[in-house]
Amino acid sequence: MTGSFVFNSLLMNPTTETLTRLHELECSECGQPHSAHQLQLVSECHQMPLVATYDLRERLSRAAAINLADGSMWRYRALLPLLDNQNKVSLGEGFTPLLQLPSLGGRYELASLLLKDEGQNPTGSFKARGLSMAISKAKELGATGCIIPTAGNAGVALAAYCARAGLRAVVAMPRHTPKAFKEACYWYGAEVQLIDGLINDCAAWVRQRNADGQLLDVSTLKEPYRLEGKKTMGYELAEQLNWQLPDVLLYPAGGGTGLIGIWKAFREMQQLGWLAPDAKLPRMVAVQAAACQPLVATYTGRPAGRPTAMLTWAAPPLPTAWPCPAPWASR
Ligand SMILES: Cc1ncc(COP(=O)(O)O)c(C=O)c1O
Ligand SMILES: [Zn+2]
C-alpha cells in the first residue's frame, strides 16, 4: 500500500485496506469539519450542505490513481469517499461515452460539439452516479433504509441501488410522473407514494414521513455523497479529452448537483496537478426546460413562464416554490 493512502480500520472489516484520500466533511458555508465516519445530513452549524474533502497535498499521479481496468466511475476510487470496497453498491455506472455531434455542431458553426451520453447509465440517467455513491455510503455507515422526493429519475435510481444493497427505499413522486418511472420503482421493490403536486410537495411529504429520522433522507444536497458520485462526470470529461477541458459546458440543471460536482472535480484536479497550471476552466451554463426554469427566472428576474406543449401529461400548476433545496436556492 502506498503511504499516502488512508488505511481505515474503523469500520467492520479491519483486514480490508482502503484506498481513499477522503479527509473529512466540511460545512459549505463556514468550513467547520464534520466526521466522515458517521451518517451526516446538512451541517450542524449552518444547516448547509456538507462537502467531502480529500488529502490532495501528497502527490498522486493520474497513473497511480486511475484504475484503467475499471470501466465505471469507480475507476477514480482514490478520490471517492468509500472507505471499504465491500460496501460498494454498483451496477456499472459511469464512464459513459463522449459522442461527437458534427451535424448539430455545424449548424451552430462550432468547431466541435460533444455529448456525454448519460442515458447509457444503469436506470437511464446520471442519477445512477449519485445514488450509487450515496447508497454505498448509507450501507457503509449503517443505514437500513433511504427516502427521496423525486421528479422521476432519482427515484428509480434510489429504488435500484437500494434493491442491490438490500436496503429499504421510500420514493415520493408527483402523481403526474410518467408511468414508466412509477413502475420501475415498484418493480425494484420501493415503497412509492404519489403526491398531488410538484417535487417541493414531495419534499414536504418526505419531511413529515421521516420526522423520526429512521430513514436516511437522500434529497438533493441534504447528504454529502450524491455530489461525490456526480463529480465523476468532471473527471471523466478531462480523461476522455486527454486532460484538456472544453471551452463551454452546458448542463441540464435541476437541483444543480451535477454542475457543482463537475466544478468540484475540476478544482480537485487542479490541486492534484492533473490539469495544466494555466488551464482555463470551462464556462458553465445551467440549462433549464422552458416549462420549469426557476433558476433562469431568478437569475434574470423574469417570471418563471408558463408550461409549454412539451408536457405530455396533464400540465401541473406553475411552481410556487423552488424545486431545488433551500440551502442553495438563495445563493
Ligand atoms: C435527466 C436529468 N437531467 C438533469 C437533471 C437535473 O440534475 P441536477 O440535480 O444535477 O441538477 C435531472 C434530475 O433532476 C434529470 O433526471
Ligand atoms: Zn457552518
- 264 in Cβ contact with 231 (< 8 Å): yes
* Distance between CA atoms of residues 64 and 19, nearest Å: 11
Task: Give residue 41 CA to ligand 2 midpoint distance, Å.
Answer: 13
- Candidates 186, 188, 130; CA nearest to 162 is 188
Burial class (CB in 10 A: 0-12, 13-18, 19+), 317: exposed
What value does the mean pLDDT of the chain take? 88
**Single-letter code of the amino acid located at 275:** L
Q: Is 245 a member of any domain? A: yes
Residue bearing the CA closest to ligand 1, atom 6: 254
The answer on pLDDT for 261 being more than 60 is yes
Provide CB contacts within 8 A for 70, sequence distance 6+: 77, 95
- Candidates 155, 135, 279, 156; CA nearest to 216 is 135
What's the pLDDT score for residue 3? 32
Locate 113 and state its grid cell.
460539439
Using one digit for the tens of pLDDT, what is the confidence trace for 3-52? 333 334 334 344 444 589 999 999 999 999 999 999 999 999 999 999 99
Task: Give residue 132 CA to ligand 2 midpoint distance, Å.
Answer: 27
Residue bearing the CA closest to ligand 1, atom 1: 125
Task: Give residue 81 CA to ligand 2 midpoint distance, Å.
Answer: 21
Please report which confidence band the pLDDT of residue 327 belongs to, taking 50, 70 and 90 as the band edges.
Answer: very low
What's the pLDDT score for residue 304? 66
The answer on pLDDT for 328 being more than 60 is no
* Distance between CA atoms of residues 86 and 12, nearest Å: 10
Please report which confidence band the pLDDT of residue 241 belongs to, taking 50, 70 and 90 as the band edges.
Answer: very high
CATH number at residue 321: 3.40.50.1100
Q: Is 132 in the pocket of ligand 1 (CB under 6 A)?
A: no
Q: Is 307 a member of any domain? A: yes
Q: Is 119 in the pocket of ligand 1 (CB under 6 A)?
A: no
Please count the structural domains in the chain. Answer: 1
Rounded-to-10 torsion of CA 162, 165, 168, 174? 0
Task: Give residue 42 CA to ligand 2 midpoint distance, Å.
Answer: 9
Using one digit for the tens of pLDDT, what is the confidence trace for 93-138? 999 999 999 999 999 999 999 999 999 999 999 999 999 999 999 9
Q: Which domain holds residue 134?
A: 89-331
Q: Is 153 in the pocket of ligand 1 (CB under 6 A)?
A: yes
Mean pLDDT of 66-82: 97
* 172 strand-pairing partners: 149, 193
The reported pTM is 0.88
The answer on pLDDT for 73 being more than 50 is yes
Please report which confidence band the pLDDT of residue 90 belongs to, taking 50, 70 and 90 as the band edges.
Answer: very high
Alpha-carbon separation of residue 123 from 41, 77, 120, 173, 198 (angstroms): 25, 22, 8, 16, 22
Antiparallel, parallel or unpaired: β 191-195 and 168-174: parallel
Q: Is 255 in the pocket of ligand 1 (CB under 6 A)?
A: yes
Residue bearing the CA closest to ligand 1, atom 15: 153
Atom number of ligand 1 nearest to Cα 125? 1
Mean pLDDT of 132-152: 98
Using one digit for the tens of pLDDT, what is the confidence trace for 280-323? 999 999 999 888 888 888 888 877 654 443 344 444 444 444 34
* Distance between CA atoms of residues 256 and 238, nearest Å: 20
Tell me the percentage of the chain whose pLDDT exceeds 90: 78
Task: Give residue 267 CA to ligand 1 midpoint distance, Å.
Answer: 22
Q: Is 94 a member of any domain? A: yes
Q: Is 235 a member of any domain? A: yes
Q: Is 94 in the pocket of ligand 1 (CB under 6 A)?
A: no
What's the pLDDT score for residue 110? 97
Residue bearing the CA closest to ligand 1, atom 16: 153
Q: Is 1 a member of any domain? A: no
Q: Is 315 a member of any domain? A: yes
Task: Give residue 325 CA to ligand 2 midpoint distance, Å.
Answer: 17
Q: Is 12 a member of any domain? A: no
Q: Is 256 in the pocket of ligand 1 (CB under 6 A)?
A: yes
Q: At what angle do helices 257-272 and 232-240 cross, to 10 degrees?
A: 60
Q: Is 61 a member of any domain? A: no
Cα-based angle 71, 74, 79 (whole degrees, multiple of 5): 135
What's the pLDDT score for residue 295? 84
**Single-letter code of the amino acid located at 305:** G
- Candidates 13, 11, 16; CA nearest to 1 is 16
In the chain, the N- to C-terminal Cα span, in Å, equals 42
- Candidates 186, 112, 182, 111; CA nearest to 153 is 182
* Distance between CA atoms of residues 81 and 3, nearest Å: 18
What's the pLDDT score for residue 124? 97
Tell me the percentage of the chain whose pLDDT exceeds 70: 86
